[in-house]
Amino acid sequence: MRGFPIFLDFETAIPLINGGTVLAAAKARLLLSRASKVTVFAAHLDAAFDTMVAAGSIDHVPRAATADDIKGRVLVISATGSDAEDAPISAIARALGVPVNVPDRPLLSTFSLGAIVDRGTVTVAIGTDGAAPVLATRIRAMLEQELHPRLGRLADIARDYRDAISTKLPQGAGRRAFWEAVFGGAPARAILDGDEPAGRTLLEAELERAGTAAGALGRVVLVGAGPGDPDLLTLKAVRALKSADVILHDFLASDAVLTHARREAEIVSVGKAKGRHSRTQAEINDLIVSYARQGKTVVRLKGGDPFMFGRGGEEIDTLRASGIAVEVVPGITAAMAASASLQIPLTHRELSRSVTFLSGHKAGEGGAEFDQVDFRALCNTRATLAIYMAVSTSGALAKMLLDAGWSPATPVMAVEQVSHASERRVATTLDILALSPERLGLTKAAVLIVGEVASLDPAGAVTRIAAETQNHAAQESIHG
């Protein structure tokens, strides 16, 4: 976009409109949403101006504007509908360095008027550089539904406390954490619900707390980053990322997800993966606490969901023991994302009555992760298994299932890089997985879906691995 968005102050300078047309009246009404008065130069005013004239909002000068009239104006709009009349006004304004707009005439204009969402003190302007005004209008309609009607009052009340807050809280993470607690918590909810006295009381209590030793602590948000597609983030997760002073992320949090972070945020990789442990869990816990004790808002960003094989429970325990406020924002876990991508349900009235989520991380080390899992019982109840972190141990896991009585023909669907552009799906059976796991060609993070639901026709391309004793079509790519 070539134009740079700014907000002009109409308190000390009155805007000028040249022209008395219906279009000029529409522009006058727009300016009067912020200006107390508008000067209109025109030999005659259309009836569309009548209510504004009656309200005393218009100073009408019954002639065309001149250079002396334009000099020193904050902005000028010429809307006579005639290029012969508008072009000279545009030339004068340009020569004097006054911003000028001629509606639908970009070559005669130095600024454009965006679509506006007006919430009093809070204003949102949408511009498309003149390329698609209707699109700007559609975006405005969407924002009108999203932004609370009382948002401006929330800003007004916040302004009432700015001096007191500046005196009590120095500029920095502590003050930022205070405002995050106000706008994201009970004070804002009360004000937006129309109970301003309660909102002020809650805000003052938050300010009192912020000035104590406990208030000097920051807060931590455990955020589920989902499987990688940034469109699968929850709105709450996006808000947390935008409020963070520090983001500690693992290897499964994609770069696209991290684009939602504030430019000023410190971004720290604390990922752990097989064969490349950058930090122990204890070191990560200590790091989270250290940042929070500096009064910072810390987001611990985890692939999938924080409580699905993410060791979020250990981090919660550490934070509670340290007296640090913590919040959890759930995320879409890989198995659910894979199910949606394949359009295959994890439970099915005829094929599967339950789903069990398992970690395959230690399946090749004696099956330590599965000591409490009765695979034989699951087999007998037609269960679906959703297995994480089993790329290197899938063969050993498949053998355990076979030993527990699972049918060698049990369908298996492996989904690698779930929700990424490089997502890859491989279908096979349990006996092939046990005998030759390398045939699946899995090298990156994948989730295995084991059970009869994996036999359902998937959406999109799938590579099928069949027994080598069959014909030359043993391995083929198909489309569901």
Catalytic residue IDs: 250, 272
SS3 of the chain: CCCCCCCCCCCCCCCEEECCCHHHHHHHHHHCCCCCCEEEECCCCCHHHHHHHHCCCEEEECCCCCHHHHCCCCCEEECCCCHHHHHHHHHHHHHHCCCEECCCCHHHCCCCCCEEEEECCEEEEECCCCCCHHHHHHHHHHHHHHCCCCHHHHHHHHHHCHHHHHHHCCCCHHHHHHHHHHHCCHHHHHHHCCCHHHHHHHHHHHHHHHCCCCCCCCEEEEEECECCCHHHCCHHHHHHHHHCCEEEECCCCCHHHHCCCCCCCEEEECCCCCCCCCCCHHHHHHHHHHHHHCCCEEEEEECECCCCCCCHHHHHHHHHHCCCEEEEECCCCHHHHHHHHHCCCCCECCCECEEEEEECCCCCCCCHHHCCCCHHHHHHCCEEEEEECCCCCHHHHHHHHHHCCCCCCCEEEEEECCCCCCCEEEEEEHHHHHHCHHHHCCCCCEEEEECHHHHCCCCCEEEEECCCCCCHHHEEEEEC
What is the CB neighbour count within 10 angstroms for residue 335?
26
